[in-house]
């Protein structure tokens, strides 16, 4: 079992930056791939970014590529999402996700979810 707790969301103006954090507990997190999904108002959850257990490989959604960076520090049991050049359309609840084995871009393949953190980008 893996427990995930996000933090770092908030209100920011367009063009600004935020860094989200996700602290994991419950098992050795280097054995789980992790990622971020988001849900905009009236939409389903969508993939944002993912990272392998070792941190050696990452994947990004086209909508955020070049503006966000996913990373992890397994010694601190923490994953990060650095978001720059934020746009109003990035407004969403951001969820930390994890699964054993390789990472996934599919909501249904996620095994563990955090509770979510709100990111609001004003124009």
**What DSSP string runs through 17-48?**
-EEEEEEEESS-GGGEEEEEEEE-TTS-EEEE
**How much of the chain, in percent, has pLDDT values that exceed 70?**
100
pLDDT digits (tens, 9 = 90+) for 5-49: 999 999 999 999 999 999 999 877 888 999 999 999 999 999 999
What is the Cα–Cα distance from 1 to 69, expressed in whole angstroms?
Answer: 26
pLDDT at residue 29, rounded to an integer = 82
**In the numeric block, which tokens belong to residue 10?**
């908030």
**In the numeric block, which tokens belong to residue 22?**
């996700």
| Mean model confidence pLDDT for the chain | 95
What is the Cα–Cα distance from 7 to 19, expressed in whole angstroms?
Answer: 9
pLDDT digits (tens, 9 = 90+) for 75-85: 999 999 999 99
pLDDT digits (tens, 9 = 90+) for 107-123: 999 999 999 999 999 99
């Amino acid at each position: 079992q893996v427990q995930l707790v996000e933090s770092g969301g908030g209100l920011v103006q367009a063009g600004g930056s935020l860094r989200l954090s996700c602290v994991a507990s419950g098992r050795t997190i280097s054995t789980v791939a992790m990622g971020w999904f988001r849900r905009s108002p009236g939409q389903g959850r969508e993939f944002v970014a993912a990272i392998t257990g070792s941190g050696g490989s990452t994947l990004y959604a086209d909508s955020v590529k070049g503006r966000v960076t996913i990373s992890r520090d397994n010694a601190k049991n923490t994953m990060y999402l650095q978001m720059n050049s934020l746009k109003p359309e990035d407004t969403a609840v951001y969820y930390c996700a994890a699964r054993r084995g390789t990472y996934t871009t599919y909501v249904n393949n996620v095994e563990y979810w955090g509770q979510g953190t709100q990111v609001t980008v004003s124009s």
